[in-house]
């Protein structure tokens, strides 16, 4: 079984300066903020590895490939993917932002040329991303698509997919290949590999492939929320007095 997990190394938006938010363009230099995995992508990566583990445990062949579209994949992220258990990390050499059709085209072009299997991705890469890419990949590949996936279990050549839709769980059984978008899964973090295991992975590098992308789009505007904090000492004689003062300040008492 081939398992592909699409992911994106995002700028760590929490580290972006308020001034940069307020004059944000695609050309804004966010290198200082560093890059992290999106939370849904991180779940998808770990679910992919767990599937691989279970398939291998039951004696079936399984292989995991992490796939990204980025010129800026930090070495520590690819190292941690190899160390966590990915057999291959593929880096399509293009920077495409806020253009889901183009992203899906490039990712599905690669997937078309690879052996068929399960394709997983996070429901949405970053908070400003469209969340449309996984479905667009399924359309382009002509594969069944499952959204809001929480877990996937192997089941005699099929997969049991647990989805969380409209406040209820739906369990479907499907035969790969298919595309699944992982949402609010309880599996929220990619496993950490021990230093010994990281060292044993040696100097594995991502496989970089050329990708011809369309010109970037522009005209994006963001604004930072003012999160300054002030400390005030409450001149209260007791906890009860302090509680009343806080309630009054919050408009709780008239």
Cβ(98)–Cβ(127) below 8 Å: no
Site for another protein in 55-84 (CB under 8 A): 74-76
Judged by CB, which is closer to another protein: 167, or 239? 239
- Could you tell me the smallest distance in angstroms from the CB atom of residue 16 to another protein? 9
Q: Is 203 in the site for another protein (CB under 8 A)?
A: no
Q: What are phi and psi of 94, to 5 degrees?
A: -160, 150
Judged by CB, which is closer to another protein: 17, or 57? 17
Q: Is 184 in the site for another protein (CB under 8 A)?
A: no
The number of beta carbons lying within 10 Å of the beta carbon of residue 163 is: 20
- Could you tell me the smallest distance in angstroms from the CB atom of residue 233 to another protein? 5
- Could you tell me the smallest distance in angstroms from the CB atom of residue 237 to another protein? 9
Q: Is 188 in the site for another protein (CB under 8 A)?
A: yes
Sign (positive or negative) of CA dihedral 116, 42, 38, 131: positive
Instruction: Spell out, one character per residue from 204 to 243, where the chain touches another protein: x when CB under 8 A holds, - when not.
Output: --------------------------xxxx----xx----
Instruction: Spell out, one character per residue from 18 to 57, where the chain touches another protein: x when CB under 8 A holds, - when not.
Output: -------------xxxxx----------------------
Q: In what order do the strands lie in the sheet with 145-155?
A: 168-174, 158-165, 145-155, 178-182, 117-122, 2-7, 63-69, 88-93, 207-210
Tell me which of 27, 59, 167, 196 binds another protein, using CB under 8 A: 196
Q: Is 199 in the site for another protein (CB under 8 A)?
A: yes
Residues 6+ apart with CB under 8 A from 111: 4, 67, 119, 137, 141
Tokens of 12: 């760590």
Q: Is 17 in the site for another protein (CB under 8 A)?
A: yes
Q: Give yes or no for a cis peptide into 177 (omega within 30° of 0).
A: yes
Sign (positive or negative) of CA dihedral 73, 79, 85, 88: positive
What is d(CA 5, CA 134) in angstroms, rounded to the nearest whole number?
11
Residues contacting another protein: total by CB under 8 A: 28
Residues that bind another protein (CB under 8 A): 12, 14-15, 17, 31-35, 74-76, 188-189, 191-196, 198-199, 230-233, 238-239
């Amino acid at each position: 079984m081939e398992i592909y997990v699409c992911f994106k190394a995002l700028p760590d938006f929490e580290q972006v300066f308020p001034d940069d938010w307020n004059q944000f363009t695609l050309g804004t230099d966010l290198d200082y903020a560093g890059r992290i995995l999106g939370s849904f992508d991180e779940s998808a990566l770990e679910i992919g590895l767990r599937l691989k583990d279970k398939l291998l445990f039951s004696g079936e062949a399984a292989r995991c490939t992490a796939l990204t579209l980025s010129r800026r994949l930090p070495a520590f992220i690819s190292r941690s993917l190899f160390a966590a258990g990915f057999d291959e990390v593929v880096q399509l050499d293009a920077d495409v932002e806020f253009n889901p059709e183009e992203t899906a085209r490039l990712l599905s072009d690669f997937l078309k040329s690879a052996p068929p299997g399960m394709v997983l991705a996070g429901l949405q890469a970053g908070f400003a991303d469209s969340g449309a890419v996984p479905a667009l990949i399924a359309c382009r590949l002509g594969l069944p698509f499952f959204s809001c996936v929480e877990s996937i279990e192997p089941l005699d050549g099929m997969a049991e997919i647990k989805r969380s839709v409209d406040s209820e769980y739906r369990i479907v059984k499907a035969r790969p290949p298919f595309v699944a978008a992982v949402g609010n899964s309880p599996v929220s973090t990619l496993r950490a590999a021990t230093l010994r295991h990281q060292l044993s992975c040696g100097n594995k590098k991502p496989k970089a492939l050329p990708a011809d992308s369309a010109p970037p789009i522009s005209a994006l505007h963001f604004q930072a929320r003012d999160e300054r904090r002030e400390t005030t000492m409450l001149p209260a004689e007791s906890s009860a007095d302090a509680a009343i003062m806080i309630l009054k300040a919050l408009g709780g008492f008239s």
